[in-house]
């Protein structure tokens, strides 16, 4: 019996839903998203289904698993890559590898909204479908909250915070050196702690638009910070991929640093990503996140996913210098700072990302950053009793 288009859509969706850090059930919404992106191109659906047992394959492996010719695979994979569903870049050994991408983190959702958008009805419809998918995910998480908590606790950090180093008036933020041995089970090589160090590692740098802020705008939820949008960075192999697919554009180191400084002026948070959350590996990208639009923070606040972040800094407030103006409480992305009964800013260590944004905007210079490796883990609020 020949598979119908509906059958092929469901099978291809099932493969995509199995990928990434967050796996989704094969729901009507997930199927509708893939239908929206691929349409009725049965050959593309068949190629995705060929990844069902092995998400990364060479050309020879794909010829065997798909039954397509090398010429067809080349054509189909290029089309799927431009849609955000295939990552097609050579390995360090020079062998072309094809990898099917997940729905999100990092995959279809991010790439679909990373390029320059037009505000079309098609873009808005896709944004609404993803929003529906995330609402469904929240219901699933909340329904299995106690069961999933141990899995969340064992999960690696999703991203890593890179602190800002200067205050709003250009002065250096005070850094308090680490005064104890890092509590790690093995030798730990400290990854880059400034954006300059990261930028200088790479010859290939690309910048695209913030997919979080662009998607929120399509949903009619404009960014409250009015932050610049073109500051989503990718590096190395990822930069070559995003630029070749039109999701981003190549920039020089000087251009990259200028864009990053503009992001800092707007109070955005530098968050670096590593392949497989391995901080010993070079960074693949840097997001510059605002408090209200960032998906990782929104999904945490909305009760969908935990906030899991790696950081090497912790804000330290000088209670004698603090005047209780409350500026830091407004800027803190995780609401880790509040004014106590004496009207002095007080920081909750477990929720502090060490991003330095509070230090940057403190008018009294009352907040320093203390060094020390930490993992920030905050469960999503429980919405059901």
- The whole-number pLDDT of residue 137 equals 97
**How do the residues of the chain divide into helix, strand and coil, expressed in percent and rounded to 5?**
40, 20, 45
Q: Using one digit for the tens of pLDDT, what is the confidence trace for 243-277?
A: 999 999 999 999 999 999 999 999 999 999 999 88
The matching CATH number, chosen from 1.10.10, 2.60.40, 1.10.3470, 1.10.20, for 5-145 is 1.10.10
Q: Residue 88's beta-bridge partner residues?
A: 98
Q: What is the pLDDT of residues 90-118, one digit of tens each?
A: 988 899 999 999 999 999 999 999 999 99
Q: Tens digit of pLDDT for each residue in 117-131?
A: 999 999 999 999 999
Distance of CA 341 to CAs 332, 338, 345, 346, Å? 19, 10, 10, 10
Dist. CA 75–CA 73, nearest whole Å: 5
Bridge partners, 176 (sequence order):
370
Q: Can you tell me the distance from the alpha carbon of 87 to that of 109, in angstroms, rounded to the nearest whole number? A: 14
Residues of the chain with CATH 1.10.10: 5-145
| Helix intervals (H) in the chain | 5-17, 28-38, 42-49, 59-66, 70-82, 108-112, 121-143, 145-154, 195-199, 211-218, 236-244, 253-265, 295-301, 327-331, 357-361
pTM of the model: 0.94
Mean confidence (pLDDT) of the chain = 95
pLDDT above 80: residue 180 = no
DSSP secondary structure of 67-106: ---HHHHHHHHHHHHHTTSEEEEE-TTS-EEEEE--SSSS
Q: What percent of the chain is modeled with pLDDT above 90?
A: 91
Judge whether 245 and 87 are in contact, CB under 8 Å: no
């Amino acid at each position: 019996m020949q598979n119908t288009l509906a059958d092929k859509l469901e099978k291809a969706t099932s493969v995509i839903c199995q990928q990434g850090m967050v796996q989704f059930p094969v729901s009507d919404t997930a199927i509708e998203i893939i239908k929206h992106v691929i349409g009725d191109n049965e050959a593309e659906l068949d190629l995705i289904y060929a990844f069902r047992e092995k998400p990364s394959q060479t050309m020879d492996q794909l010829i065997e698993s798909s039954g397509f010719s090398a010429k067809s695979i080349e054509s189909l994979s290029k089309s799927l890559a431009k849609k955000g569903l295939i990552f097609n870049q050579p390995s360090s050994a020079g062998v072309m590898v094809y990898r099917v991408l997940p729905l999100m983190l990092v995959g279809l959702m991010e790439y679909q909204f990373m390029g320059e958008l037009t505000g079309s009805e098609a873009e808005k419809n896709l944004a609404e479908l993803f929003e529906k998918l995330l609402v469904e995910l929240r219901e699933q998480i909340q329904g299995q909250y106690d069961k999933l908590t141990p899995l969340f606790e064992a999960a690696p950090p999703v991203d890593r915070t890179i602190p800002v180093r200067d205050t709003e008036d250009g002065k250096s933020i005070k850094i308090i050196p680490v005064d104890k041995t890092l509590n790690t089970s093995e030798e730990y090589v400290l990854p880059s702690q400034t954006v300059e160090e990261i930028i200088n590692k790479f010859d290939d740098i690309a910048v695209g638009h913030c997919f979080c802020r662009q998607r929120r705008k399509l949903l009619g939820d404009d960014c409250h910070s009015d932050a610049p949008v073109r500051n989503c960075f990718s590096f190395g192999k990822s930069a070559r991929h995003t630029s070749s697919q039109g999701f981003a554009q190549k920039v020089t180191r000087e251009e990259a640093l200028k864009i990053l400084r503009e992001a800092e002026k707007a109070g955005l948070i530098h968050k670096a990503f590593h392949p497989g959350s391995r901080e010993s590996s070079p960074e693949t990208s840097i997001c510059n996140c605002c408090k209200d639009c960032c998906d990782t923070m929104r999904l945490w606040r909305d009760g969908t996913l935990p906030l899991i972040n790696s950081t090497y800094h912790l804000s330290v407030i000088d209670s004698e210098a603090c005047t209780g103006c409350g500026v830091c409480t407004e800027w803190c992305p995780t609401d880790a700072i509040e004014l106590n009964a004496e009207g002095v800013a007080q920081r909750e260590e477990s929720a502090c990302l060490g991003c330095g944004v509070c230090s940057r905007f403190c008018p009294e210079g009352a907040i320093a950053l203390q060094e020390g490796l930490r993992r920030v883990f905050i469960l999503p609020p429980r919405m059901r009793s």
